[in-house]
Every structure is written in structure tokens, then in C-alpha cells.
Amino acid sequence: MRVTVIGATGHIGTYLVPRLVRAGHEVVAVSRGERNPYQDDSAWTDVESVEIDRETAEERGEFGEEIAATNPDAVIDLICFELESAEALVASLRGEVQHLLHCGTIWVHGPSDVVPTTEDSPRTRRPLGEYGRKKAEIEAYLLDEARRNDFPATVLHPGHIVGPGWEPVNPAGNFDTDVFSRLARGKEVALPNFGLETVHHVHADDVAQGFQRALENWSAAVGESFHVVSPRALTLRGYAEAVAGWFGRDADLTYLPFDEWADRPEYDEEDVEMTEEHIRYSPNMSIEKAREKLGYEPRYTSLEATREAVEALIEAGEVDSSE
């Protein structure tokens, strides 16, 4: 197939584009042209690159037309964050493509009543943040278009995406890389409450695998949404203990009620807000639907994915594992 990937040099596209090339697809990589993929891969020499600034093109009302002009059989949209953007793209691609695959997020679910959360869990609790609410609106629109108007759309929902080149959600539920440094060096780390809230990571290559499998299993994928996460979520406590163990340490953990934890000097306001959002959700997602219908099988566990990311941070000097 000829596949146009929008946002091709980001977290997911770094792994997805080479996967598609190796599978024999003809790939058009759409990006702003401002950065290279996170990982080098010889497959990029076989990719047609097109520079489009989505925001500018959408302001002109031309983005959908420019994507259609790449003559795709399928479009994979990794960077759609507004309902209006999705609507405009569908209008331009209707009758022109065999498949549109959209990157959603597990944040379309509010806090769960029963875990692991499945894709068809009743949406009785609204997503907590603006990002989740907007992604939920896009998902509802695309699936309605598929079911009512035969528009061939699929939505994939990643969890906390990790991989070499960026910071993973840490065992305190935020992005402060010093948490990894303290665990590696045997220093105290404070966790909110009893450390039993959960985070659910996924390696970017496993997200890419999910998109490839959805693309190549059209009849099972169209009109459906799928979680693409690791096989199991992690508790904050279990995560922290495992990270310390990577360095031959026992985790020195302190547990505090959230309000007391939020007053700790090592966490700034942004850290506190991020942790609160993550632990309010405490995501724990099922991948049985993707396994059954698409053959999705993650290569990485949550710990394997985060360890690879942390090792890259150590090599980059952003995490200190010295004595």
C-alpha cells in the first residue's frame, strides 16, 4: 500500500515508518522538517518526505487537500488533537482512501470502576483533562463516521509512550528524571499515598506495531478502537522498587498523604500537577481486543520499555547512577 504518515518523525513515527518500509509498503513521511527521527534506520532512504506545517496549512484550509495530494491508499495521523482537524481531514479523504488510522490515547477513559479497562467500558466518567476530552470527541466522531457513513476509520489508544530519546513517566507519576537518579543511588524517594496507584507504559515500537497490524488487518480494524499498551500496568511502588533493583539497590521509599507529598521541596508545581493527573486516572488497560482481532503482541513489558529509556538517559548524562 501507499501509506502517508502524518507526524512521521515523532515518537511513534520513528519506529512506524521503518516498520512499514520493511513490510513492503510505499511510505510518504509528512512532517514540518524540523527534526530527524529519534533513531537512525537505513529504511528512511526509501521514504518519500513531504514538509507540511499542519497548523499553517489548516489555517489556510488546505491541509486535507495537501494530504490527499500525496495519493495515499491509507493515512496514519499521529498528531491530530482537535475535532475540527479530524473533520477537515475526513472531508478531504472521503472516497479517496481505503483507511484512516488515528492516534488516540488511553486518557479518553475517565477513572475506571473495573480493571483492566476495556475499549467498550461505559464512558460514565468523563476524561479529567482537556487532552483526554478532545481525543474522546475525535474518537466518537471517527467511529460514528465509520459506522454511519462507511468511512474507513480506526483509532488506536497508546498509554504512556516511552523509548530512548525522551523522559518516561517516573515512579512518582511525573517526568522529573532526578527520581531515577535518586533510586539508582539509593537515596530516599517520596511517593504519594501508599504508592499503589498505577501507570501504564508502552514502548513506541509496540505502538508502531499496533498501527502496522491495524493497517494490515483492515476488516478487523475499521470502525473499531484498540488499546496499545504493555501487557500489564505498574504500581508506583512496584515500579520504584524495580528501578532501584536495576542498580543493585533496595528502594528507600517514603509514603505521604498527597497534600503532604505535594509540599516536598524536590517536586515543583508542574511535577505535582502531573502526578495528580496520573494517579487520579491510575490507568490499567486491557489489550485482549487488540490481541484477538489484530494479533497485537507487545515486545516490551512496562519495565523493559522504561529501562531502555532510562539507560539512554544515563548515557546522555540526564540520569546520575554514580555512587
pLDDT digits (tens, 9 = 90+) for 50-69: 999 999 999 999 999 999 99
Q: Is residue 292 part of a domain?
A: no
**What CA dihedral angle connects 176, 182, 185 and 189, to 10 degrees?**
-150
> Does the structure show a pLDDT above 80 at 128?
no
For residue 129, give the nearest of 322, 273, 232 by alpha carbon: 273
Q: Is residue 117 part of a domain?
A: yes
Query: DSSP character for 215?
Result: H
Residues 38-75 as b or e (16 or more Cβ within 10 Å = b): beeeeebeebeebebebeebbeeeebbebbbebebebb
**35 pLDDT tier (thresholds 50, 70, 90):** confident
Same domain membership, residue 211 and residue 96: yes
The pLDDT mean for the chain works out to 96
Q: Is residue 170 part of a domain?
A: yes
Q: Is residue 91 part of a domain?
A: yes
Same domain membership, residue 216 and residue 267: no
Same domain membership, residue 140 and residue 32: yes
> Does the structure show a pLDDT above 90 at 228?
yes
How far out from the chain centre does Cα 188 lie? 30
pLDDT digits (tens, 9 = 90+) for 135-176: 999 999 999 999 999 999 999 999 999 999 999 999 999 999
Angle at 25 between CA 23 and CA 29, to 5 degrees: 115
Same domain membership, residue 176 and residue 97: no
Same domain membership, residue 259 and residue 305: yes
Same domain membership, residue 146 and residue 10: yes
How many residues comprise the chain? 323
Q: Is residue 65 part of a domain?
A: yes
pLDDT digits (tens, 9 = 90+) for 240-258: 999 999 999 999 999 999 9
Percent of the chain with pLDDT over 90: 93
pLDDT digits (tens, 9 = 90+) for 77-122: 999 999 999 999 999 999 999 999 999 999 999 888 899 999 999 8
Angle at 73 between CA 68 and CA 74, to 5 degrees: 85
Residue at a domain's end among 211, 228, 245: 228
Same domain membership, residue 148 and residue 36: yes
Would you say 28 and 52 are in contact if contact means Cβ atoms under 8 Å apart?
no
Range of the domain at 311: 164-199+232-283+301-315
Structural domain total, the chain: 2
Q: Is residue 247 part of a domain?
A: yes
Distance (Å, rounded) from C-alpha 296 to C-alpha 68?
29
**What integer pLDDT is reported at residue 4 of this predicted model?**
98
Same domain membership, residue 176 and residue 113: no
Same domain membership, residue 189 and residue 104: no
Q: 116: cis peptide before it, omega within 30°?
A: yes
State the CATH number of the domain containing residue 190: 3.90.25
Q: Is residue 264 part of a domain?
A: yes
Same domain membership, residue 221 and residue 242: no
pTM greater than the 0.85 cutoff: yes
State the CATH number of the domain containing residue 130: 3.40.50.720
Q: Is residue 321 part of a domain?
A: no
**Cell representation of residue 254:** 517514603
Same domain membership, residue 29 and residue 131: yes
